[in-house]
Structure 1
Amino acid sequence: MESKTSSGRVIQSVQRAFDLLERIAVHPEGARLSELADGAGLNRSTAHNLLASLEELGYISQDKKGAAYRLTGKLNRLLRLDAEAEQALRARIRPVLKKVSEASGESTFLALVTGTDYLCVDALQSDKPLHLAVRPGERKPLIGEALGHALLAADPDLAGTVRSDDPQQWQHYAQEIANAERHGFALDLDSQQAGISCVAVAITPRAAIAVAGPTNRLPKSRLVTIGQQIREELDKIRPANQGWL
């Protein structure tokens, strides 16, 4: 069913679904079916069917049947940070990149989640003749990369989406992602690119720092030490009363 607006046509079911999303969004603690249906002027059956579709698509979730509906992080992941927010984050994180790069002697970079990929937005290259060249603008899938695994470990909603999209690939890397959640950093020990190893630490569920370089200079013990240093440097500048983004 369509309804007319000043700018054209609106599909009624789409309009209703977005109305429900907007109503859930103003209730961080969640909103129940009865509250949403009454507020939107819908009967319970119609509201339930729309909410079930939104839940199946990954935009909302319930802790259990009959519980309140809450937004997941999927809407946020569809959008890249606006230019001002990204610039502010890069400026705040740049000193950490410099300290870690100087201490490790390796290439260090900052990346953000975009959908089910990550995008490099800042990088400092190692000055050693043999090093990993990482350039801002490079984009790679989250699954299969240490940096992606750190982000997946930090965001259960994102992890659920990636797991649903490719269960077989997820199963292959499930233990590495679990280890990243347990230890606070993710490792890639010469598995994705021959001769290259990496350690990554999530800053938030949407941003992470990684250090990568030749495996012969980055054995596991060295990567663990670098991962701990990244976390220490982040703690020194972590905002006290506001988020990173």
Structure 2
Amino acid sequence: MEYERVSGRVIQSVQRAFDLLEHIATRPEGARLSELADGAGLNRSTAHNLLASLETLGYITQDKKGAAYRLTGKLNRLLRLDAEAEHALRARIRPVLETVSQASGESTFLALVTGTDYLCVDAVQSDKPLHLAVRPGERKPLIGEALGHALLAADTELAAAVRADDPQRWERHAPEIADAQRHGLALDLDSQQAGISCVAVAVTRHAAIAVAGPTSRLPKSRLLTIGRQIRAELDKVRPANQGWL
């Protein structure tokens, strides 16, 4: 692998790796080594080494050895929604947060995937003296939280990447994630934070809503009822004949 500079502060091997990624991105059906090497102006040995590195890092994949290379979803997971799309999603979801919070009496929040974490971007706080305070800007790992489990259950590529990144932690929470896949919602029954329980429902592969509060007010039956209400309220504001974004 070469490390000489092309110009200024650009490192040649980095530039070549991104050239290959850009070539693969233009071919949804995938691209083989020979055409990628020719398209990027590289000899096949150099192209193969770079592609092997990108595959090991999880940015590209092959169905089998010698097959075409395709992008994975890892690049998308590094990015948050652009500002305009995030604003539009938050505007659509805000009434749901308010309605569910008022009906449940608990704090309700919206979070987005960012890498292997989720980031809270909007919240409606409970007005009860004893409640869970959730603040926009808070970030937590996807594994180990009901909201993260709902997102992992909704995106198989994200789940595979997170599992590969931390297999031991994944195995500890695999039953909860599997339950979220089966039921379409994720529960945390006083397991991650003493005295706090939560229900979470994915809105898209990149966004989810959660309601959390004292376990004394949120037994499993109550959480399931709230989960159904979240779905019902989402159906009321879901865009017709188009996606959320």
For the criterion TM > 0.5, the same-fold answer is yes
1:41 aligns with 2:31: no
Q: Which runs of 5+ in 1 are unaligned?
A: none
Label 1:100 to 1:63 Cα distance change in 2 as closer, same or farther (>3 A): farther
> Which range moved further: 74-83 or 118-127?
74-83
- 1:54-92: CA deviation from partner (whole Å, max 9, x where unpaired): 111011122333333222222122222332222111101
1:3, distance to aligned residue in structure 2 (A): 4.7
- Report the counterpart of residue 6 of structure 2 in structure 1: 4
Aligned residue pairs, count: 243
- What SS is found at the alignment partner of 2:213? strand
Q: Which runs of 5+ in 2 are unaligned?
A: none
In the TM superposition, 1:23-172 aligns within 5 A as 23-172=23-172
**TM-score normalised by length of structure 2:** 0.91
Query: Which range moves more in the overlay, 149-158 or 234-243?
Result: 234-243
Q: Deviations over 1:197-240 (max 9, x none)?
A: 10111112221100111112211122122212222322332234
Amino acid at match of 1:123: A
SS of 1:129 mapped into structure 2 = coil
Distance in 2, Cα, partners of 1:198 & 1:119: 16
Counterpart-to-counterpart distance in 1, 2:5 and 2:194: 57
Q: How far has the Cα of 1:172 moved from its partner?
A: 0.4
Moved more, 72-81 or 169-178: 72-81
Q: Percent identity?
A: 86
2:120 and 2:136 in contact (8 A); partners too: yes
Q: Which runs of 4+ in 1 moved over 4 A?
A: none
Residue 158 of structure 1, CA deviation: 2.2
Counterparts of 1:70 and 1:243 in 2: how far apart (Å)?
24
Distance change (3 Å), C-alpha of 1:32 and 1:4: closer
The alignment's C-alpha RMSD in Å is 1.8
